[in-house]
Amino acid sequence: MPIELKMPALSPTMEEGTLARWLVKEGDKVSSGDLLAEIETDKATMEFEAVDEGIVTQILVAEGTDGVKVGAVIAMIQGEDDAAPAPKAVAASTPAPVANIPAPIVSSPVNEPPAHPKMADLAKNDRIKASPLAKRIAVNKGLDLTSVAGTGPNGRIVKADVEALDGDSRSTVAAITFNAGPRAEAPMAKPVAISTDIPHEVVKLSNMRKTIARRLTESKQQVPHIYLTVDVRLDALLKLRGELNASLESRGIKLSVNDMLIKALGLALIQVPKCNVSFAGDNMLQYSRADISVAVSVPTGLITPIVTDAANKSLSKISSEVAELAARAKDGKLQPHEYQGGTASISNMGMMGIKQFDAVINPPQAMILAVGAGEKRPYIVDDALAIATVMSVTGSFDHRAIDGADGAMFMKVFKELVEKPLGLVA
């Protein structure tokens, strides 16, 4: 029987996407794992692979179409065992006939850890909804698919889901993102129609910009923010950075101040675990690992690639990872597991001369650190007035999960780590 190929949910925040380019045409034979299309999500452009084998009989949504809802039928595939009808051309303007089909819902509760069968049994378990390619990759890598939320059609696990796995803890983060439960959606104000005689042009919002607008509005409406600011002296950190860069020059590594602050943030979260949490309704998730989301500006908006386990990585490793992730973020080439999740965020505007600012929390995280510019200021050093390099750092905390005293302790620990930076290389 004909198989409906539906618009996949390629990220937890994706509600619609742009079908950027078809990689197949009507009449083509496809096998499981073949690439079918390029889809622009709210964060990146990703490839969509086939799950079933057969012949593409109809392409229902033309490439370049914006606003294709998750779950909408975008093409039809005829199984190899069925008599395939002649391909039927569809006008480019024809909308998907089932555009309001809801995205697949993953219902596993976040507070119940999934069972993990032996890998020897995994390959034989036909009840796992996964493409043959995804199963082969999982078996080769020794990965457990039982706790994976598939992003393929009807929740099927596909190649990208398997490649996104990073051990059992990654599955937990994915479950948090997908299964936070019914969320009280704040009513979004309708856009105000603007009439103006001022010369202007109308700029269409990208999917990323639409998502940023929605998520930050929800964050400010639903998350009670508390802001705590400290002034941090940078002289010792800058001196250590210079010495480390001199020793790392032969390896082509150059540490930035931000690399060292990422490490300090990771260590502070481990030392003050009450701030390494997520609010989840009747529960609170307490993380044992510090995964730091780093705000990176890209042409279409902002994305936050993740440095996993920042507290236990060397400064040189963090520097290399951040450079590589930022480069691929700007090219729109990040995979979902590289920007989904994280336990806290850091946003640094110091390089643009911003002295101090308050950042908006990125749910389901419960805190974000806003870093201002390091500048020469009058400062009390050893009970005497001196000139020191000082930066202002503001932590935004979700007051539902983090008390002011715990947030203050976190800021104190972060300040001490930066002002006595040998602890970053110990």
398-408 residue pLDDT tens: 999 999 999 99
Do 39 and 151 have their domain in common?
no
Beta carbons within 8 Å of 316's beta carbon, 6+ residues apart: 248, 251, 253, 255
Total domains present in the chain: 3
Residue type, 71: G
Is the confidence at residue 339, as pLDDT, over 60? Answer: yes
Distances (CA, A) of 146 to 113, 128, 175, 341, 344: 11, 7, 12, 19, 27
Identify the domain boundary among 50, 78, 106: 78
Identify the domain boundary among 27, 62, 78: 78
Residues 51 and 28: their CA atoms lie apart, in Å, by: 15
Average pLDDT over residues 384-405: 97
Within-domain flag for 247: yes
Give the CATH number, domain containing residue 318: 3.30.559.10
User: Helices (H), strands (E): how many in the chain?
Assistant: 9, 19
Handedness of CA 111, 112, 114, 115 (dihedral sign): positive
Do 276 and 341 have their domain in common?
yes
Give the CATH number, domain containing residue 155: 4.10.320.10
Residue 44 CA from chain centroid, whole number: 10
pLDDT confidence of residue 80: 61
Within-domain flag for 343: yes
Within-domain flag for 195: no
Is the confidence at residue 286, as pLDDT, over 90? Answer: yes
Within-domain flag for 36: yes
Do 360 and 243 have their domain in common?
yes
User: Which of residues 309 and 250 earns the better pLDDT score?
Assistant: 309
The percentage of the chain sitting over the pLDDT mark of 70, rounded to a whole number, equals 75
Is the confidence at residue 115, as pLDDT, over 50? Answer: no
Q: What is the band of 101 on the pLDDT scale with cuts at 50, 70, 90?
A: very low
Average pLDDT over residues 163-180: 44
Do 132 and 28 have their domain in common?
no
User: By mean pLDDT, which of 138-147, 305-314, 417-426 is the weakest?
Assistant: 138-147
Within-domain flag for 107: no
Q: What is the band of 8 on the pLDDT scale with cuts at 50, 70, 90?
A: confident
The percentage of the chain sitting over the pLDDT mark of 90, rounded to a whole number, equals 44
Contact call for residues 315 and 424 (beta carbons, < 8 A): yes
99: number of Cβ within 10 Å: 17
Do 348 and 405 have their domain in common?
yes
Catalytic, 337? Answer no
Helices 235-248 and 257-271, axial angle in degrees (round to 10): 120
Strand duo 296-298 + 277-280: pairing = unpaired
Residue type, 339: Y
Give the CATH number, domain containing residue 46: 2.40.50.100
Task: Report the half-sphere exposure of 209 (CA within 13 A, side-chain side).
Answer: 8
Identify the domain boundary among 138, 158, 178: 178
Is the confidence at residue 110, as pLDDT, over 80? Answer: no
Residue 165 CA from chain centroid, whole number: 14
Element containing residue 191 per DSSP (H, E): none
Q: What's the pLDDT tens digit per position in 253-272?
A: 999 999 999 999 999 999 99
* Owning domain of residue 18: 2-78
Do 37 and 172 have their domain in common?
no
Using CB atoms within 10 Å of the CB of residue 258, give its burial: 0 to 12 exposed, 13 to 18 middle, 19+ buried: middle
User: By mean pLDDT, which of 83-92, 259-268, 380-389 is the weakest?
Assistant: 83-92
Phi/psi for 261 (5° steps) reads -70, -35
Handedness of CA 354, 358, 360, 362 (dihedral sign): positive
Is the confidence at residue 162, as pLDDT, over 50? Answer: yes
Do 223 and 324 have their domain in common?
yes
Do 400 and 252 have their domain in common?
yes
Q: What's the pLDDT tens digit per position in 174-215?
A: 333 333 333 444 455 566 678 888 998 988 887 778 888 888
Contact call for residues 41 and 17 (beta carbons, < 8 A): yes
Within-domain flag for 185: no
Within-domain flag for 113: no
Do 343 and 289 have their domain in common?
yes
Do 293 and 334 have their domain in common?
yes
Contact call for residues 258 and 374 (beta carbons, < 8 A): no
Within-domain flag for 105: no
